[in-house]
Chains A and B, each alone.
Chain A
């Protein structure tokens, strides 16, 4: 292998790593968007759903020795219940809340989930076996873990399921109607309260899936939620808040930029790269790269 090839292989390796990270950000961002569309709330506990999914999966596969598929389903259901409880106990009872109060409520939930995760799972990070083999495959000179392929595949399925759900099912269409105009949706006989609850459940499920598939690679610990949530929010804003397909593209883009930055600038500042991008997008173009300037004028940032 000569030197120029080595450079190209490096780029390819960084790209693989970036898309892998980006897939996770994309899913976290989709979770943000679901709740945002249904309620206008940014859920500061979104990152905690990811952690909860990952840690539950660790316990079910490693301590209870369940099969991956069975543990996967149980973990997602567990986090969905957490999401529904959050909506029922903390969002639903509050009538006419101010934005400040809603922000602090979701922050409080994130502290509680983080605290509970620390009590149950301890402060250390947790190893989990990969879905299939953990020997890396050769990909044009770069290496790729089978788990990374699982992540790509599952992101693809989540996106397809998302499109099918929101475009071809009655419930999905009802949720979209609520997102567009809640009063009009209610007049058309849609139970908007139920849709809000559903949005928390689905958002928690997507977060849980993201946590489950990344845990074999990053070894989940209780404190990762804040950073995952922030970067996922970065992806959501970059793609235009509320626009989930934009979020997927933006998430992958963010992951790739981060991986390239870590490879060519400094790995110490890797986590800061996505955050600096987040700040620049917020300051310069809060409607995101796919948001139109017309929509930007109508929305409040």
Chain B
């Protein structure tokens, strides 16, 4: 990592260390822990969407497979959570490989629909395969994780743990982007034909980054299962996959920090909205949590219409524009004086 990114990374570490002493309420810490899970999945998805330029509306399925594998192996077969998490990752690698090879030959709309179809199939199986997944009732009694024999019981401990994993994920993502592979991916995003003519193996790169992003999603699913200790198909329907895409797109497709910010912002949005609802009531708007979907959609649409590069790029561009116009003004003044 270089320059601004390493500064950002340092800021992230500091924020992770400081936050629990600022946020002492367990409920809000819990919300931030959920944000960490989304963050991890979105950082992975951003590698695929922003850098390789391939859309997937199916990453919720990989989160689900991670969560269910961890849940089944630990709660039903009493495996060690760590072994179960590794096993989930292996299963996801195999599935992502088998899906990625044929699916990534497709482009644009076709790829989007294929991944959406996959996500939908996984959700149907999670509801219907009652022997395996517990059906609509789900799986209970998933143990908490322990770290070197030290159980992560309090919210604060799990906060540190899950956000450390996110930090590792972000670090890995930046390492990948600034490597030969990362440059290859960006070349594919620019033009597949041009990249191929430069000797980049397009299929291999695309499938590899698809698998990597699926692994991020799987780990986030496993962490989720061990945090809530209970899983059912509810949170893993197609709309979760859509939500992950929304987070990445709102924050900014072409930057890991964008995806990061999008994931945190949209994860906290329901809390922010319920906080604002008291004030909205004063102006006569009776806000209900049911309106959340509408707000999500509205934010996504407005961002896509007016800031297609996302909030992060939008902010840094406008800061840059202001800075350059200030510089220009300053330059003119200098000329006038000279």
Contacts and interface: CB of A to CB of B under 8 A. Distances in A.
A300 B127 CA distance: 35
Nearest to A266: B128
Binding site secondary structure of chain A: helix
Contact of A279 (B117, B253, B296): B117
Interface in B106-123: 106-110, 112-114, 116-118, 120-121
A98 to B, nearest CB: 8
Nearest to B253: A100
- Give the interface size bracket for B toward A: 35 or more
A119 B297 contact: no
A272 B120 CA distance: 8
Contacts of A116: 294
Binding site secondary structure of chain B: helix
Chain B CB within 10 A, most for which of A98, A105, A107: A107
B305 interface: yes
Given A226-B238, A230-B117, A279-B114, A114 B293 contact: yes
Contact of A100 (B108, B113, B242, B290): B108
A97 B120 CA distance: 28
Contact of A119 (B109, B110, B290): B290
Contacts of A272: 120-121, 124-125, 128
A100 B51 CA distance: 12
B291 interface: yes
A109 interface: yes
Nearest to B296: A111
Contacts of B107: 99, 300-301
B53 interface: yes
B301 A99 contact: no
A137 interface: no
Contact of B294 (A98, A112, A237, A269): A112
Interface residues of A, number: 46
A216 interface: no
B305 A107 contact: no
Given A100-B253, A275-B117, A286 B110 contact: yes
14 contacts: A99-B109, A103-B109, A104-B245, A104-B246, A111-B246, A111-B293, A112-B301, A116-B294, A118-B290, A119-B291, A269-B124, A276-B121, A279-B118, A283-B102
Interface of B: 49, 53, 55, 57, 102-103, 105-110, 112-114, 116-118, 120-121, 124-125, 127-128, 238-239, 242, 245-246, 249, 253, 290-298, 300-301, 304-305, 308
Given A234-B117, A268-B127, 12 more contacts: A90-B305, A99-B107, A103-B108, A108-B298, A115-B294, A116-B294, A119-B291, A119-B294, A272-B128, A275-B120, A286-B106, A300-B107
